[in-house]
Structure 1
Amino acid sequence: MLIDDFLNYLRYERNYSDYTVKAYSKDLNQFEEYVKSCQEGVFVPDIIDADIVRDWIVCLLDEKISPVSVNRKLSSLKSFFKFLMKQKIVSVNPLRLIVGPKTKKPLPYFVKEGDMEALLDGDGFDEDFEGVRDHLVIEMLYDTGLRRSELIGIKDADVDFDASLLKVTGKRNKQRLIPFAEGLKDLMLAYTEVRNREVGAQSEWFFVRKNGQQLSAGMVYNIVKKKLSDIPTLAKRSPHVLRHSFATSMLNNGAELNAVKELLGHSSLASTSVYTHTTFEELKKVYHAHPRAKKGGNYGN
């Protein structure tokens, strides 16, 4: 019951997305089951202490759950107990001194600019409705840095062709305006023409399937994975890789960090600054190609 109250608080007062609420629900229900297994089927937050939480962490790690996932679950649990403290349901937060397992944060995967140019300007897309749509999906993700959920959430009313602006609804229902260039505008107009002719214009959604229904997140993932498979050197293939590629390309070409932050819809510069490390890695590779760098040895290591 308390977990349900917390999830409703996230959904209706904090405006968290259904996807995020489901993630919190999964983490908290998992913790509840663990506590019940330790306390004869009883789950009473007021008697949960730090030792129970630490034992849960050890259990998760023993089950080969990654430190990244464990820390995410701890974050869910911390938010839950902050809610309980606010509601005066518990008097002590058992997580106040809990520290999660250390993680080594990997640099984001991204596609090199030359590989993206070859993919987007090549002849790998059909000229029918699905081919035109899939081409635009790849181009828009790379040109704007949209999240997958933001892409499928675009409605026709969100596109202002006259001003070349796209209204996007991001995390926690925060809206932002993203400008788009003439090349992307031409692709969008070509897509809407083919869509309206072959599918019809009954739907409010900008990206649709052949039956006119909204394009799903799973379909976007499959479109991107299939097309990025044409780049054999790429280790990871997903819509988020294109978002990383957008940010990296922007910074590599002189965009200011704060401007990229606003375009990505990040709440803080800390989330955006990871891409500066990515661009620095690229600079190191370029430097290694210099004959003096080869002679000098291990620069930057």
Structure 2
Amino acid sequence: MIGKGKKERTIPVFDDVKETLFTYRQALNESTELSPFDTDPLFYSIKEYYRTGERKRLSYTTLYRTIKSAVYKVKGNASISPHWFRHTFITNSLANDVPLAVVKQVVGHSSIATTNVYLEKLQEDTVYDAFRKSGYR
């Protein structure tokens, strides 16, 4: 997968996600064959496809507007954005003991120091919560 900064990404795809992805792809009459060498976008601008027949990757702007629209419709947290999902994935992975080096590789950080920022923030929050729960004042 090609991600942020046009960097190649390798992401784990679990069976339930794969089923949903295949259902989506079948609804668009797309192949359900996944190949790590395939450079075609999994998600593309349907409007552009119907207009030109070309499968162009979703732009960040389109993704941003789609997410903001969905959040607005469900009266969700207005700060949610595509990048919020990235931050949440990194934080949840580290909170669930996925090794720092593995998270770094999956999200495509060029330096482990960048990934470590998330771990340090998570540890700060954990320390604060532990003291708050202890009743210590």
**TM-score (normalizing by structure 2):** 0.72
1:262 aligns with 2:98: no
User: In the alignment, residue 209 of structure 1 is paired with which amino acid?
Assistant: S
Specify which of 182, 207, 212 is matched with residue 43 of structure 2. 207
Pair 265,186 (structure 1): closer, same or farther in 2 beyond 3 Å: same
Which consecutive segments of 4 or more residues in structure 1 shift more than 4 A? none
Q: Percent identity?
A: 28
Give the structure 1 partner of residue 8 of structure 2. 175
CA distance in 2, matches of 1:206, 1:250: 23
Alignment of 1:1-301 (within 5 A): 167-168=1-2, 171=5, 173-196=6-29, 204-211=40-47, 212=49, 213-214=55-56, 215-229=58-72, 230=74, 232=76, 234=77, 236-290=79-133, 293-294=134-135, 296-297=136-137
Pair 287,226 (structure 1): closer, same or farther in 2 beyond 3 Å: farther
Pair 182,231 (structure 1): closer, same or farther in 2 beyond 3 Å: farther
User: In the alignment, residue 112 of structure 2 is paired with which amino acid?
Assistant: L
User: In the alignment, residue 192 of structure 1 is paired with which amino acid?
Assistant: R
User: In the alignment, residue 207 of structure 1 is paired with which amino acid?
Assistant: F
Deviation readout 1:26-55 (Å, 9 max, x if unpaired): xxxxxxxxxxxxxxxxxxxxxxxxxxxxxx
Gaps of 5+ in 2: 31-39, 50-54
Kept in 2, the 8 Å contact 1:225–1:238? The answer is: yes
User: In the alignment, residue 168 of structure 1 is paired with which amino acid?
Assistant: I
Give the structure 2 partner of residue 20 of structure 1. none
Q: Greater Rg, structure 1 or structure 2?
A: 1
Gaps of 5+ in 1: 1-166, 198-203
Kept in 1, the 8 Å contact 2:68–2:78? The answer is: no
User: In the alignment, residue 205 of structure 1 is paired with which amino acid?
Assistant: P
Alpha-carbon shift at residue 260 of structure 1 (Å): 0.5
CA distance in 2, matches of 1:253, 1:264: 16
**TM-score (normalizing by structure 1):** 0.36
How many residues get paired? 120
